[in-house]
């Protein structure tokens, strides 16, 4: 397997999740230029970088290395930097405040919530 194969997989999975290079770099605590070098095959990511990228893309490093197929749930809606931030903040709230936040989201984004809840039913 060549560096290009791993880089190409990183690019494909990043795009599948609706992320640009800046967003992936932020999620993986890497530099955008570094991500671009990985994706182009000019540089091979080391173990730590592979682990960070895999975590950011919510997959295993084996998927990036071509040793495993991406899980089926990878086809679900992309998780952006913004949605991850909101999720982490809401997850840390006490139950009563979490419920209040969810009620606020439901009120502001009623139509979007209705569509998501219908899909989950």
pLDDT at 74: 44
Domain 3-75: which topology? 434 Repressor (Amino-terminal Domain) (1.10.260)
Task: Give the gyration radius of the chain's Cα atoms.
Answer: 17
The answer to whether 35 and 25 have CB atoms below 8 angstroms apart is: yes
pLDDT at 103: 86
Long-range contacts, 71-75 (Cβ 8 Å, 24+): 74/13, 74/16, 74/17, 75/16
pTM over 0.85: no
Which residues of the chain form CATH 1.10.260.40?
Answer: 3-75
Helix axes 32-40, 47-57, angle to 10 degrees: 100
The closest of 65, 74, 71, 89 to 19, measured between CA atoms, is 74
Distance CA 52, CA 82 (A): 18
Instruction: pLDDT tens for the chain, 121 residues: list them.
Output: 444 589 999 999 999 888 899 999 999 999 999 999 999 999 999 999 999 999 999 898 998 888 888 776 544 444 667 777 787 788 888 989 988 988 888 888 888 877 777 766 5
């Amino acid at each position: 397997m060549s560096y290009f194969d791993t880089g190409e997989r990183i690019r494909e999975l990043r795009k599948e999740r609706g992320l640009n290079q800046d967003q992936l770099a932020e999620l993986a605590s890497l530099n955008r230029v570094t991500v671009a070098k990985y994706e182009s095959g000019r540089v091979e990511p080391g173990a730590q970088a592979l682990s960070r990228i895999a975590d950011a893309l919510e997959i295993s490093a084996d998927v990036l290395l071509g040793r495993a197929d991406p899980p089926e749930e990878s086809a679900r809606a992309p998780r952006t930097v913004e949605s991850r931030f909101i999720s982490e903040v809401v997850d840390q709230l006490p139950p009563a405040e979490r419920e209040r936040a969810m009620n606020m989201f439901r009120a502001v984004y009623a139509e979007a919530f209705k569509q998501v809840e219908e899909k989950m039913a």
